[in-house]
Amino acid sequence: MWSAQALTEESCWTWRAPVAAGPVSNWPTITRRTWGQCINGAPVGSLEAALALPAGSAGFVVVIGKPALRLKLCARIGERGHRLVNVIHPTAVVEPSAKLGVGVTIGAMAVVNSNACIGDAVLANTAAIVEHDAVIGDGVSLAPQSCVGERSVVGAEAFMCLGALILPRLKIGAGAVIGAGAAVYDGIPDRVLALRAPARPIRRLDESFDWAKLL
């Protein structure tokens, strides 16, 4: 398995670990200075070097927090003939009736309940909860202890910050960001930042948004 950890495509370095199932923790922060070193027992190199491997010889999972960049890199990996794999921590609970896309990461103590649908390249961090029949779009980021209520729909590339809560049967727009500790009692439109409880949109999101504040 190869994994990328960075904020921008230009500084997206990779590390390698066995494909075999087992605990995946302590994701390292990787920079150009770590190339040629080992972190958590895994050798570090550039993304381009990893992509140059023979097609099908390694599985890839992208754990970058920024949703749009994660999806972009997943597409790039697919274009080079490599496969995306799912990484599920052994303490996570994923019900057999739940459906997972590819390139999904589910962290320690996270829960995906019955008949939930998880899209491609979704990152569900520590103790995140996706309740039954909820739908999570491609590239969504669920921060630690965030919770999506039953039958809610979270649009592609949305980002739920630490401890954010979505009540049942609601819709979160594509690219929306739900702030830390926010509680969503009503639907949230596309590409807005919503804060507080009850959560309300406070601004539209554009290229000026500082993702480093979330990641």
Distance of CA 45 to the CA centre of its chain: 22
Rounded distance, CA 118 to CA 115, Å? 10
Give catalytic status of residue 82 as yes or no.
no
Residue where the block lists tokens 């390139």:
103
CB burial of residue 18 (10 Å; 0-12, 13-18, 19+):
exposed
Structure tokens at 3: 């994994």
* Dihedral, CA of residue 69, residue 48, residue 121 and residue 82, to nearest 10: 150
Rounded Cα gap, residues 171 and 184, in angstroms: 10
Kindly name the residue from 132, 151, 171, 200 that is annotated as catalytic: 132
Q: Which residues are known to be catalytic?
A: 132
